[in-house]
């Protein structure tokens, strides 16, 4: 299959490399000039889209997606598929879907979960929105780049699933970090707390799989001085998208809103930028009730 891949950053590059390693003819473009193993670099987004059976985008935000889509859809052939793996607002996903449909192009919004490690290892989870035909067209590629793909519904449903998931993730990570900081002040050993909570009703992905306490539980960014697996500023972005969506449909999400406030303070006013989102733990340890 001839694939154009636009956005070869920390996530896009290993995803594109996995497609190339599986035998596909992959052409790639990134504004920063980055490349990926086995991928033929070109000088523009339309060059990557020309003649492609499938074009995949992995971009920073909805505005950039809209701009890139407007450029490449004109260059894509009728009957081809556009897969957007970015995490963007639901409205942008639906707008691009409508534009693609008008041009006779299948569209899937398919944000991912699994981080840089999942992208490199081909173990991502894809949350996909679009028609059944569009999902069927994209699924063989999801099977190469990831270990699971879920067709969540019509266009925009993939983004809805992603932001709901990450709203839960942000809030539960904060609660997990708060609990460890409280345990410290109560004189409870972190390992003992993990042993109890990880097998009791407080267990969660944040505790059991991605524990924010160094030396406790499976290896995580906490064991590497909080070098990002998922950066705090990316969590801030996703929590912002969840609250934007909540406002749009008049949903009451007070925990999501508070998580957004805390990550905003952590990233913009404290030292959270450039650290993993689990670095909330040392933040809470250093703080006192005011």
Q: Once rounded to an integer, what is the mean pLDDT over residues 256-269?
A: 98
Question: Which residues, 6 or more positions from 90, have their beta carbon under 8 angstroms from its beta carbon?
Answer: 156, 159, 160, 163, 245, 248
pLDDT tens profile 174-219: 999 999 999 999 999 999 999 999 999 999 999 999 999 999 999 9
Residue with tokens 């689990």: 278
Cα gap 207→47, rounded to integer Å: 45
Q: Once rounded to an integer, what is the mean pLDDT over residues 214-236?
A: 96
Per-residue pLDDT at 174: 98
Question: In 3D, which of 195, 185, 201 has the Cα closest to residue 217?
Answer: 195
Q: Once rounded to an integer, what is the mean pLDDT over residues 56-62?
A: 97
pLDDT at 277 over 90: yes
User: Do the beta carbons of residue 245 and residue 163 sit within 8 Å?
Assistant: yes
Exposure of 170 in the CB half-sphere (CA atoms within 13 A): 32
Confidence bin at 117 (pLDDT 50/70/90): confident
Beta strand pairing call for 106-109 and 2-6: unpaired
Read off φ and ψ for residue 77, nearest 5 degrees.
Answer: -85, 150
Q: Which residue has the higher pLDDT, 117 or 97?
A: 97
Furthest-apart CA atoms within the chain: distance in Å: 65
Q: Once rounded to an integer, what is the mean pLDDT over residues 248-262?
A: 97
- Angle among Cα 52, 53, 56 to the nearest 5 degrees reads 75
Confidence bin at 96 (pLDDT 50/70/90): very high
Per-residue pLDDT at 24: 98
Cα gap 100→130, rounded to integer Å: 11
pLDDT at 290 over 80: no
Question: In 3D, which of 16, 91, 87, 27 has the Cα closest to residue 53?
Answer: 27
Q: Once rounded to an integer, what is the mean pLDDT over residues 63-92?
A: 97
pLDDT at 10 over 80: yes
Q: Which residues pair with 14 in a beta bridge?
A: none
Residue 40: count other Cβ atoms within 10 Å of its Cβ: 15
**Catalytic pick among 2, 162, 185, 192:** 162
Confidence bin at 49 (pLDDT 50/70/90): very high
pLDDT at 231 over 80: yes
Residue with tokens 């290993």: 14
Q: What is the mean pLDDT of the chain?
A: 97
pLDDT at 229 over 90: no
Q: Residue 266 has which token pair?
A: 């952590």
Per-residue pLDDT at 115: 85
Annotated active-site residue 162? The verdict is: yes
Confidence bin at 60 (pLDDT 50/70/90): very high
Residue 227: count other Cβ atoms within 10 Å of its Cβ: 13
pTM of the model: 0.92
Q: Once rounded to an integer, what is the mean pLDDT over residues 65-83?
A: 97
Per-residue pLDDT at 189: 98
Per-residue pLDDT at 220: 95
Q: Once rounded to an integer, what is the mean pLDDT over residues 151-156?
A: 98
């Amino acid at each position: 299959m001839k694939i154009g891949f636009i956005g070869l950053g920390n996530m896009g590059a290993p995803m594109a490399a996995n497609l190339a390693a599986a035998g596909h003819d992959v052409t790639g473009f990134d504004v920063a000039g980055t490349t990926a193993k086995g991928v033929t670099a070109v000088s523009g987004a339309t060059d990557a889209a020309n003649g492609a059976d499938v074009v995949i985008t992995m971009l920073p935000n909805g505005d950039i997606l809209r701009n890139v889509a407007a450029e490449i859809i004109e260059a894509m052939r009728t009957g081809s598929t556009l897969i957007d793996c970015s995490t963007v607002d639901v409205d942008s996903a639906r707008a691009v879907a409508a534009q693609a449909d008008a041009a006779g192009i299948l569209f899937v919004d398919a944000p991912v979960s699994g981080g840089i490690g999942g992208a490199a290892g081909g173990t991502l989870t894809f949350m996909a929105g679009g028609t059944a035909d569009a999902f069927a067209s994209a699924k063989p590629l999801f099977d190469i780049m990831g270990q699971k793909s879920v067709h969540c519904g019509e266009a925009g449903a993939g983004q809805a699933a992603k932001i709901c998931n990450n709203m839960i993730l942000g809030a539960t990570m904060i609660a997990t970090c708060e609990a460890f900081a409280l345990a410290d002040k109560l004189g409870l050993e972190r390992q003992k707390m993990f042993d109890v909570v990880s097998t009791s009703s407080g267990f969660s992905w944040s505790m059991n799989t991605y524990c924010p306490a160094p030396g406790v539980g499976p290896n995580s960014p906490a064991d590497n001085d909080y070098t990002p697996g998922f950066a705090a500023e990316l969590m801030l972005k996703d929590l912002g998208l969840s609250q934007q969506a909540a406002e749009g449909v008049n949903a009451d999400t007070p925990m999501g809103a508070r998580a957004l406030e805390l990550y905003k303070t952590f990233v913009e006013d404290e030292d959270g930028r450039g650290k993993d989102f689990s670095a909330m733990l040392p933040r809470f340890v250093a703080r006192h009730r005011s």
